[in-house]
Structure 1
């Protein structure tokens, strides 16, 4: 091999390495010529000798001359060459060169050592830039122009020789897309990989604003030390609701309008706004409200005559707020835009934080305004007044070197701390339940994502130990020590029934219990082995469950309920959550009773999803998914009250089904008119479905007639403007074309699919009426199970996770269909 050939291949290797560099640009750009010279042209790499075409006086005729030479050479060099110009074939060739813009590419430092002129086997492996020493090049423009032509011709000849020698094309390497050449090419129809399909599903409907923000992929590089949550933290603190401004509307007491100071008037407003709702009719709500109302009156307006709730008339206030509500509905687009802009300004200021120099979205940055506490279920404190929170009650957590956010004018922060082992930004204590409230980063933030990831990974880890743990507590059910028996029995319920562990509560809070805090009256025994649970769980939601248990567990409950125990006494009087969790730590690091709940929810969900039929319709797949989700919700006691308009929703769906069935009947009649022999082949044609009564048909025809009249009116308005003759209903009927059998069959099939989809929706809607699916999906089911199910059964992830959940579970949607919890 000659030195010139060797220099070409060495330069080819250099350029091929540079192709993987993301700094690639268009192929038709030419690298500037370095001011260097050489004894031989071929001794210097092409990448160092080439100059920008724009710097020369080359013209269109020069380019034409070069192309003519290229074509003549390509036609004579090999029989196997294509007649297509090489410039069009080069983008498809894997070995084609990419020319780098000198402004974008990284220029390597040349070795100062002088290369030898000898060629050897070992020399071939050394980069040419390290073996050759270049000298300055000084030539006039005409010589440069001639040299460029020679170089291009020489390079093309070598490219053609290389193509002839290559029997099979090399595998394509990853390259940055070349705009001009590759955009004109037709995309290849190769089978997409699973990863690519999955990526398309996730990013298909993302908006431009989401694409602009670079995602921090923390799941690719997790911190080993999870005790330190952040290094730097900056934020603007929480946003406080505006101070109350009096509207001047007076409530009545004993039929007479009464003046109230703003502090008292504000509390009266709170109750006026719930009149007409279930809260306003709730005796406990009324009692707690009026008790706190009197406290405010006594403190702020001692001479106020209000003493009895029955003598209070909040009607003027209620009417005022109803009127304000109607005004908001009637606002113009411009007025709504002003309010929207104001909200956006608040969002832009308070809704973002800088965490380790990354911009992260803050969750609920607004301090909750004062009002009346609602609560869930039969909460004993419903109606209690929630006081206004001031900065003096708020603790700010921020980086040491960060600027402290300014509190509202005339106030100061209660406390400033710099604790990087916690993830909250602000904290305060609310007065109703005496609990702490926090401002966190948003659900889609890196810290929240890491927390979720670790939670589900801990539950997955339990899978390795669950067999041994179950063996141990099964043996301990017969232990002679009462404390051990109680612990084993409680663990049995936590594992099998997904009960919460439960903590002891004070007398002034809701009487909600968990497994460890069950009392004598919460558990009833029914021979031979049935246990009935009936108690208020979290958020005062009733938990009622009748289950059959093992004989030993039934026997233990009998022992735990023996006299002298009575109602009000603890069932597990020798156990609490601290003792239980301390015991669990011996079986697995970081294991608590709460992990069992997450594990059982995710495992149950994964097993239920196996019932999905592969070739079923999209609606049937979604029904299977929701049924699996429902089983988890039932297991975790995630209930909800049946909505007031539930029956109306079902009625609307049923009407849609009947309408589709009647439309299908009409289509089938037309099919039989065209081909009466179809009756023998398809007896179902021309039959009315059950539920379609004469009254329904009459109602349907009246609605259809109204639609036709409305359409006729619109058409005639257009015809009137155009000066055409107006039409009648008879004209419209005559203008109808007789549909073909093919078209009728298509309509029939479409209506059949629609009926099936609506029937599935009706079943799903009815089954979900008293079950809250969202809580288990968000908090207890590993989202990777849902993502893998979507990829396996070709269900768009958007059907399962809405935009906020896709943002929250960015880390989870990258699994493949083979993921197993």
Structure 2
């Protein structure tokens, strides 16, 4: 394969021919450009001056977390919304399942309702759920109920083992593939339709302000999955009807229209709750709600209130700790390595080191400095006794820290480390919380594949780095003696990988050229020009890379390899722990935001876009903010 230089231009780069007419066109082009800039500026100013724009800006800039609001249980004064969006009615496809597979299988005529249930299972053929005996048993029991309710005449279906859902499975796969092949225009149309629906149902007006609604769609019917080995997995989730739904809305607001031919189950005007609609599903008899979105002010206030409560608890622990240090002259204590004696101080006291004796006595028993046993019974004030009861509350047990909220793992962040090293330190601290909260998970089935993919990504960058090293030596052969590391082969970069990688690069280049050809022919078709069978050869701009650029490229690739190695370590350490739950629900986002600001880590390395919106109230936390 031909070597590629760092400075090679793209194949589709147009050549600029400086002709006389080209030179004359310049002043005119410049004038048009200036006029266009002025027009854009004028339109922007008009938009900014409009009342609507002012209202939008005011809404966007409102920082509710800086407002003082008394918590009297009233969540809103006025509320208007469009209610939930129901799934569309089922459209029969007419593809028949087979029965009595031993005798080659005979097509079975089903009603639309029974066909829909059969299609739910057919879509899962070959999956873990589809092969699960409990799932199969529950599905088939509900399938038979549907057949009975539909009173299908002469229906032969009696045994699951004789059912063949393959014809429906093949049809559904065909439909799925057709969707993938949709044109850009068709995809655009679907997107526009979805956005139009979102504009109607995705927003409500609360206390005169526009607020985003969460998932406003009623869950469609289907087969219940459940987590783990759920006994009801495979049961039929029935279609929710408007008569099952309770709407919660302002007393003076217009009640949204239910689907034609239906009515709402109940309409309430309870301003002490935050849900907009509720109903009960049939499988587990659990209540489902439509709430405001995670980015709404109500959700944000709820999150902030929860974390402020946790801060109070930490302050309570710190105050209790200081009380003992002051009254009993206990040393503060610090963390120890595994090879050191199990001596503790006040801050490192564990669950088993104190015993509570009503009404207000505390018995201390632990190894203090120099392994001298400290045993003491003291009377404490009521508030301290009450605090200790809280600190020893279940699920805490022997071995757990008594003052578990005082230490911060984030302080172990390497101040001079790379962004990747700092993020790894953050995730390790987060993992401590996840383990404490028992947020365990099974190793994902795709873990091995993901690790192999990451390994290949690292090798691909090493391949690039090796190319750059060769280019440096070609430009400055004298560096062979001065910088012997440039001659060293990249580790793990064997002939097998190089061959495989170069084939992949050739395929990628081929795909790129094919896309360019399609794009070019689309333009020609619009202009009524003759279509091309292949792209014309384009003259590349031949440039010789400078030593500065090559050195910069070499450093960039080295940094990228280091970052990807950190990512691999992080992913492997995290394979049995779910970090998302602790980050969203258990760790005050202000801790993470302040950490980002303190260690110069971009917020998007810790919070994705949706979390940055959800925790907007926390994103501006100063680097010196403490929990």
TM over 0.5: yes
Greater shift in the superposed pair: 738-747 or 239-248: 738-747
Query: 1:190-339 to 2 correspondence within 5 Å?
Result: 213-254=59-100, 255-301=105-151, 303=153, 304-339=155-190
How far residue 230 of structure 1 moved from its aligned partner, in angstroms, is 0.9
| Equivalent residue, structure 1, for 2:343 | none
Aligned residue number for residue 751 of structure 1: 557
**CA shift for structure 1 position 321:** 0.8
Using CA pairs under 8 Å that are at least 6 residues apart, name the structure with larger relative contact order, 1 or 2: 2
Once the two structures are TM-superposed, the CA of residue 709 in structure 1 deviates from its matched residue by 9.1
In structure 1, distance between residues paired with 2:471 and 2:506: 19
Kept after mapping to 1: 8 A contact 2:314/2:406: no
Secondary structure of 1:335's counterpart equals helix
The partner residue of 1:437 within 283, 288, 310 is 288
Q: What whole-Å deviation, never above 9, does each CA across 1:147-178 have from its counterpart, x for those lacking one? A: xxxxxxxxxxxxxxxxxxxxxxxxxxxxxxxx
SS in structure 1 at match of 2:82: coil
Once residues 592 and 420 of structure 1 are traced to their aligned partners in structure 2, the CA distance between those partners, rounded to angstroms, is 37
Structure 1's unaligned 5+ residue stretches are 1-178, 184-207, 473-547, 554-582
The offset of 1:707, in angstroms, is 7.8
In the alignment, the residues of structure 2 paired with residue 605 and residue 638 of structure 1 have an alpha-carbon distance, to the nearest angstrom, of 21
Q: CA deviation at 1:655?
A: 2.2
RMSD: 4.1
Q: Deviations along 1:45-91, whole A, 9 cap, x unmatched?
A: xxxxxxxxxxxxxxxxxxxxxxxxxxxxxxxxxxxxxxxxxxxxxxx
**Shift in CA distance, 214/710, structure 1 to aligned 2, threshold 3 Å:** closer
TM-score scaled by length of structure 1: 0.55
Residue 414 and residue 306 in structure 1: after superposition, are their counterparts in 2 closer, same or farther (change >3 A)?
same
1:466: Cα distance to partner? Answer: 3.4
Which protein is bigger by CA-based radius of gyration? 1
Q: CA deviation at 1:673?
A: 5.5
Residue in 2 that maps onto 1:611 = 412
Retained in 2: the 8 A contact 1:398–1:404?
yes
- Alpha carbons 1:789, 1:817 under 8 Å: kept: yes
DSSP-derived class of the 1:416 partner = strand
Q: Which residue of 1 aligns with 2:226?
A: 375
Which string of whole-angstrom CA distances, capped at 9 and with x for unpartnered residues, describes residues 358-409 of structure 1? 1111111111111111111111111111111111111111111111111111
User: 1:354-369 to 2 correspondence within 5 Å?
Assistant: 354-369=205-220
Q: Cα–Cα, structure 1 residues 333 and 585, in superposed 2: closer, same or farther, change >3 Å?
A: farther
Using the alignment, how far apart are the partners of 2:603 and 2:206 within structure 1? 29
What is the deviation of 1:440?
Answer: 0.4
- Residue 275 (structure 2) aligns with: 424
Matches for 1:633-782 after TM superposition, within 5 Å: 633-672=434-473, 678-679=479-480, 681-700=482-501, 739-782=545-588
**Partner residue in 2 for 1:189:** none
Give the secondary structure class of the aligned counterpart of 2:485.
Answer: coil
Of 450, 458, 461, the residue aligned with 2:309 is 458
Secondary structure of the residue that 1:377 maps to in structure 2?
coil
1:593 positional shift: 7.3
Structure 1: how far apart are the matches of 2:253 and 2:385?
39
CA deviation vs aligned residue, 1:313-360 (integer Å, no higher than 9, x gap): 111111111111111112222322332232223212211111111111
Instruction: Report matched runs for 1:387-398 at 5 Å.
Output: 387-398=238-249
Distance of aligned partners of 1:707 and 1:428 in 2 relative to their CA distance in 1, 3 Å threshold: closer
Question: Alpha carbons of 1:592 and 1:266: their partners in 2 closer, same or farther (altered >3 Å)?
Answer: farther
Aligned twin of 1:410: 261
CA contact (8 A) 1:584 1:592 kept: no
SS in 1 for 2:412: coil
Unaligned runs of 5+ in 2: 1-40, 46-53, 324-349, 356-382, 521-530
The corresponding residue for 1:516 is none
Whole-Å Cα distance in 2 between the matches of residues 341 and 293 of structure 1? Answer: 37
**What number of residue pairs does the alignment pair up?**
499
Q: From the superposition, tell whether residues 428 and 699 of structure 1 become closer, same or farther in structure 2 (CA, over 3 Å).
A: closer
> Secondary structure of 1:610's partner?
helix
* CA pair 552-810 structure 1, distance change in 2 beyond 3 A: closer
Preserved contact between residue 244 and residue 266 of structure 1 (Cα < 8 Å): yes
- SS where residue 75 of structure 2 aligns? coil
Q: Deviations over 1:427-483 (max 9, x none)?
A: 1111111111111011111111111010000111111333688999xxxxxxxxxxx
Moved more, 438-447 or 631-640: 631-640
